[in-house]
Amino acid sequence: MRTQDELKQQAAQAALDIVLPQLQPESILGVGTGSTVDRFIDLLAAHREAFRAAVSSSERSTQRLQAAGIQVLDLNEVSSLTLYVDGADELDHQLNMIKGGGGALTREKIVASVADRFVCIVDESKLVQQLGRFALPIEVIPLAREAVAREVRQLGGRPVLRAGFTTDNGNQILDVSGLQYDDPAEFEAMLNNIPGVVCCGLFAISGAHLALVAGQDGMSLLELQES
Ligand code: 5RP
């Protein structure tokens, strides 16, 4: 029986195996945030000569990338990214995700939006039939926290302030349980429309293109079927 940490390591290795052949000396790679991505960064360090630089989704990943000798560019200096690699807190079979357990959801969504393809790396505990077990992180402007919380309660949610936490953007996070996602993309759009919401951790309007899921029986690859 492999531990969750070992499965995260496997997912990171699988991502490296997929990403490396696609990197050119001029390539810039989008890098997410979290313990699974930390392992990916550690593996990437040995291949830093294979690509030009990375764009990071958090101060935490920036520090780890730089410590690994990988150059980190500001997103404003970059017009496109071939790939974006990141973990998730929940992933469904349509490759919709809940993200933001580490609080980096806003930068993650922005960096992912610039990439051609989002490669999601998770252990099998994250794969669900229906999103909703993990409380949805919502980044809010501090001034709007209670106003957003009231709106979210109207939608059936139970918001809890992530105490003592400030995002890299200087905002706060409400972790919202009790929500139902019958149409995740429509629900994401609705949350985006609440004044004071900076970003919600639902990644459904634009989800992952490819997911690498590490399980006790080996790696599974889920790929979005483009219509
Ligand atoms: C951070 C995230 C992470 O991708 C998510 O929390 C998964 O983290 P981990 O790989 O540590 O399980 O969205 O904001």
Which whole number is the average pLDDT over 36-61? 98
| pLDDT value at 193 more than 80 | yes
Which whole number is the average pLDDT over 104-115? 98
| pLDDT value at 107 more than 70 | yes
Q: What is the mean pLDDT of the chain?
A: 97
Which whole number is the average pLDDT over 58-74? 98
Which whole number is the average pLDDT over 14-39? 97
Which whole number is the average pLDDT over 67-81? 97
* pLDDT for the residue numbered 224: 81
Mutate-to-test residue for ligand 1 from 36, 85, 203, highest number of ligand atoms within 8 A of CB: 36
Backbone torsions φ then ψ of 206, nearest 5 degrees: -135, 105
Ligand 1 mean position, distance from CA 47 (Å): 23
* pLDDT for the residue numbered 225: 76
Angstrom CA distances, 170 to 54, 76, 167, 188, stand at 23, 19, 5, 22
Which whole number is the average pLDDT over 179-208? 98
Q: In what order do the strands lie in the sheet with 115-123?
A: 72-73, 53-56, 28-31, 81-86, 115-123, 210-215, 218-223
Catalytic (active site) residue 108: yes
Which whole number is the average pLDDT over 28-36? 98
Mutate-to-test residue for ligand 1 from 6, 59, 85, 89, highest number of ligand atoms within 8 A of CB: 89
Are 85 and 38 in contact by the 8 Å Cβ rule? The answer is: no
Which whole number is the average pLDDT over 210-217? 98
pTM: 0.97
* pLDDT for the residue numbered 3: 98
| Boundaries of every domain in the chain | 4-129+205-217, 136-200
Catalytic entry in 6, 59, 108, 188: 108
- Percentage of the chain modeled with pLDDT above 90: 98
* pLDDT for the residue numbered 226: 67
The C-alpha atoms of residue 6 and residue 87 are separated, in whole angstroms, by: 15
* pLDDT for the residue numbered 24: 96
* pLDDT for the residue numbered 227: 60
At 140-166, the pLDDT tens digits run 999 999 999 999 999 999 999 999 999
Lowest-pLDDT range, 51-65, 87-101, 182-196, 212-226?
212-226
* pLDDT for the residue numbered 84: 98
The CATH-assigned architecture of domain 4-129+205-217 is: 3-Layer(aba) Sandwich (3.40)
Write the class of the CATH domain 136-200. alpha beta
- Percentage of the chain modeled with pLDDT above 70: 99
Beta strands in 35-130 (DSSP E): 53-56, 72-73, 81-86, 90-91, 97-98, 115-123
